[in-house]
Amino acid sequence: MRQPLQLFQNPIPIKSTLLIGACVFSLFACQEREQVVAPGNTTETQINEAFNFNTTQDVTFNIWAKDSQGDILNMTNIQIYDKDPNLGGELLIEGGIDNTGQLSAYKALPTHLQEVTIVSNYIGVLEQVTVPITDQQVSYTFGVPTQEDSSGEEITPDANGRINGTSYTYLGKYNSLGVPKYLQSPNHVIPSSFLNILNTALPEGKKVNPAYLAPGVSYDVKLTKDANVTITFVSERADFLNSLGYYTYPLNKAPKSVEEIDEKFIVFPNASFTGSGGGLASGNRVKLPKTLKAGTGIGFFIVSNGWNGSSVSKDNIKLFSNPAFNPGNADKKQHSVLLKYEDKCILAFEDIKRSDASSDEDFNDVLFYITTDPVKCIDDTNIPSCEPVKDCDKDGVPDEQDKYSCDPVRAYNNITKGTLAFEDLWPAKGDFDVNDLVVNYSHNVVTNSQNKVVELISTFDILAIGARYRNGLGFELSKLNPSQIKSVVSSHNKTILEGGQAKATILVFENAFDFVPNGIYDQINTKMDQPKLSCGSVTITTTFTSTLTMQELGAAPFNPFLICNQNRGYEVHLPGYKPTSKADLTLLGTKDDISNPARGIYYKTSFGMPYALNMPVNSFKYPVEGASIKDAYVKFLPWAASFGVVYSNWYLDLPGYRDAAKVYTK
C-alpha cells in the first residue's frame, strides 16, 4: 500500500507547456511536457490508488415473461427507466421478449442508482414494477398475477349505496381489498395467445382504433337466447382503483338516461391486480346471479377510482358503456368498446374523461370478457372483431412499438448519454480542472426484434477546449476485434477505424480545434467572462459483420481516450482502463503517472487523482479554467476518499454539492 502523501490544496494552475531540448511539436512526435506547478502550502487528501473513480457500474438485465401455463408472453415493448416515468424517469433500455422468452440487456448505470422501474406495456401483467439492482444485476419475471387470498376481513356491503340518485346492489360480500367472496371456481385460464390478441387490438398508450368507435357499433350486450352470463376479469392498466358494475333492461324498452335505469349491480368492487392496489388475478370470474332472458340488454359502467378501501364511492365519476350517459362533447363521450373474439365478448374501458389531457384514450384501463352458457347467445352483428396487428416489416414488433417500423433489421433504440472530461498533460499532472477537452457523448445501441445489436450510432458534441493542445478523441470497443466491424461511416471526414489495433478502435477526430469557428485556438468555453462558442459534433455509425448481444458489445461509453496534441502514443484514458495497442507503453508510470499494468493500475497521479472522468449526465457542468474538480464539486473528494461509498452522485446539481463560482454555467 502506498503511504499517504501530502498534496497541494487550492492550487493556482498555470496552463503552459515548455519545449525541452530539441523535441518539436509534430504529429506522433515524442514530447516532454513540463509539470504544472501549483503554489501554496496547504495539503490534500491522498486517494487510494485502487479507486477508479467509477461513476457507473455495468448492469446485466434478465427479464422473462410466461403465462400460467409456461407459454411465452409476446411482450414486444418492455421499457426500463431509472425511476417511475410518470415522475420524470429517463428511459434506459427498450426491447421485447425474444423467442426464448427472455429480454437480455447490458448497460452502464449510475452507481448511485439502487433500483429501476420496468414498464410492461402489455395487457395481462402488472403495468410497472420497481426492481432493485443487486450485485450489478436486475432480474424479473412477468407473469399473470396470482390470486390474493380472499380470506381475512370480510366486508358486508351497504345495500343503500346510491349512484346518481338510483340505488345499487352489491352481488355479495368481499374482502378488505375488494375481492369478491362470490368468485367462481376454478378461474378461467387466460392463455398467452389471447393476451397477445388483446395487446394487438388495444395497445398500451396508443389511441384506440377508430373502427371500434364507429357509428352503429354495439356498446351493450344483447342476448338472443336465455343464458347464464359470466364476467371474467382479464387485466387493468390504470393508476386508479376502478369498480365495475352492470345493469339490465328489456331491449324494447332501453333506458334513455341514467335516471331510467332500474338498478345497478356492483360486480368487482376493486378491479385491480394483486400488487397494484387490489387482489384480483386474470381469470377471476363472476357469474351473474340469475338466468337472463332473450331480449335482455346488459349495460356496463365503471366508477372511476371508485374503491375507497371499504366500499365503492358514491361520488366519483361514472362512465357507462352507453355513451349518451357520459359527460363531455359528443365525439368524446364513448368510454368503452365491445370486441368479439371466438366465443367471447371483450369489454374494455377508458377510465379518465377523454376530454382531459391526462387521458391516453387507449381504452385498456380495465378489461373483461363476457361469456354465456349456452354459448353464442350474444348478438354480435354490430360488434367489431379484433383488428390484426400492423407490422410493416414482419419482424414481430407492431409498427406502433417499432422504432424502425418498415425495417426488418432494426427495432429498438438503447441510448446512453454522458459527458467525458479530460486533462491533457499526462503523464505529468495538471490543474485538475478536467476541462482541457469536454465532450458530450450519445451512444445508441440499435437492436433487432430479438434484442441483438445490429448497429451503433455514436454522437460526440464538443463542449469545451480548455487547452492549447490539438487534442484528438477516440474510443475502443474493447470486447471486439477489428474483423468484427463491417463499416464505420462518419459525418467527419477524418474519422477512421484505426489499423494495427488488437481491438476495434475508432478515432473520432484528431484535432478538436477543427470544430472551432473563427480560428480561435485557446480556452474555448472555460471562462465565464468570455463569449460562449458553439463547437461542432461528430456522428458515427458502426455496423458489424454479425449481430451481437449487448454484453458482447460492451457498455457505453466503452473505452474512450484523448490523444495528446496529435502525438499518437500519448493516450489519456479513464482511470483503470487499459491503453490501446497504439499507445506508447514506456510512458506508463513516468512523471506523475503511477500506472502499473502488473497491478491493474492505469492513469492516476501519484496522489491518486484521475486524468479523465466520465459523468453519466448530459452536459455536465465542468469547472471553469483553473478551478480544480475537487473545489468546484465539494463532494468529489469525500466521494473519492470513501472509495465511492458516500456522495456517489457528487456530479449532480444538488444543494451544497458545488461551488457555483467555480463551475462553467453558460
pLDDT tens profile 214-248: 999 999 999 999 999 999 999 998 889 999 999 99
Task: Give yes or no for residue 259 having a pLDDT over 50.
Answer: yes
pLDDT at 28 over 50: no
Question: What is the pLDDT at residue 319?
Answer: 96
Between 6 and 220, residue with greater pLDDT: 220
pLDDT per residue over 432-459, tens digit each? 999 999 999 999 999 999 999 999 999 9
Confidence band for 389, pLDDT divided at 50, 70 and 90: confident
Could you tell me the CA-to-CA distances from 441 to 183, 434, 545 in Å, in that order? Answer: 55, 16, 24
pLDDT digits (tens, 9 = 90+) for 599-657: 999 999 999 999 999 999 999 999 999 999 999 999 999 999 999 999 999 999 999 99
pLDDT above 90 coverage of the chain, percent: 82
Q: Give the model's pLDDT for residue 165.
A: 42
Does the pLDDT at position 402 exceed 90?
A: yes
Q: Is the dihedral of CA 428, 433, 436, 438 positive or negative?
A: positive
- 264: part of which helix (H) or strand (E)? strand 264-268
> In the predicted model, what is the mean pLDDT of residues 155-161?
62
How does residue 139 score in pLDDT terms, banded at 50, 70 and 90?
Answer: very high
State pLDDT tens for residues 528-537: 999 999 999 9
Helices (H), 279-391: none
Split at pLDDT 50, 70, 90, the class of 358 is confident
pLDDT at 519: 67
Summarize the confidence of residues 373-396 as an average pLDDT: 94
pLDDT tops 60 at residue 11: no
Handedness of CA 609, 612, 616, 621 (dihedral sign): positive
pLDDT, position 156: 76
d(CA 294, CA 275): 39
First to last CA, the chain: 42
pLDDT at 18: 30
The percent of residues in the chain predicted with pLDDT above 70, rounded, is: 91
pLDDT > 90? residue 145: no
Enumerate residues 6+ apart whose C-beta is below 8 A from 308: none
Is the predicted pLDDT of residue 41 greater than 80, yes or no?
no
Asked whether residue 431 carries a pLDDT value surpassing 90, the answer given is yes
| pLDDT tens digit sequence for 93-126 | 999 999 999 999 999 999 999 999 999 999 999 9
Question: What is the chain's mean pLDDT, rounded?
Answer: 90
CA contacts within 13 A on the Cβ side of 118? 26
Identify the pLDDT of residue 152: 56
Taking alpha carbons only, the member of 630, 616, 646 closest to residue 58 is 616
Q: What is the pLDDT of residue 168?
A: 72
The answer, yes or no, to whether residue 163 has pLDDT greater than 50, is no
Q: Are 121 and 401 contacting, i.e. CB atoms less than 8 angstroms apart?
A: yes
Q: What's the burial of 398, exposed, middle or buried (CB within 10 Å: 0-12/13-18/19+)?
A: buried
- Using the 8-state DSSP alphabet, how is residue 406 labeled? T
Half-sphere CA count of 422, side-chain side, radius 13 A:
32
Q: How many CA atoms lie within 13 A of 170 on its CB side?
A: 25
CA distances from 363 to 202, 210, 307, 596 (A): 7, 11, 20, 62
3-class secondary-structure state, position 10? coil
What pLDDT is attached to residue 153? 72
- The answer to whether the CB of 45 falls within 8 A of the CB of 124 is no
Whole-angstrom distance, CA of residue 268 vs CA of residue 251: 25
**Nearest C-alpha neighbor of 238 from the set 304, 156, 296, 289:** 304
Task: Answer yes or no: is pLDDT of 275 > 60.
Answer: yes
- What value does the mean pLDDT take over residues 580-585? 98
Question: What pTM, to 2 d.p., does this model score?
Answer: 0.88
Q: Which amino acid would we find at residue 92?
A: L
Cα 77 from chain centroid (whole Å) = 11
pLDDT in tens, 463-518: 999 999 999 999 999 999 999 999 999 999 999 999 999 999 999 999 999 999 87
pLDDT digits (tens, 9 = 90+) for 644-661: 999 999 999 999 999 999
> CB–CB of 366/236 below 8 Å?
yes
pLDDT at 147: 66
Q: Is residue 24 over pLDDT 60?
A: no
At 167, is the pLDDT very low, low, confident or very high (cuts 50, 70, 90)? low
Cβ-proximal residues to 595 (8 Å cutoff; 6+ apart), any chain: 427, 588, 589, 601, 602, 603, 604
pLDDT of residue 149: 56
Q: Which run of H or E residues covers position 613?
A: strand 612-615
In this prediction, residue 204 carries a pLDDT of 86
Mean pLDDT along residues 181-207 = 91
Q: 206 pLDDT band (50/70/90 cuts)?
A: confident
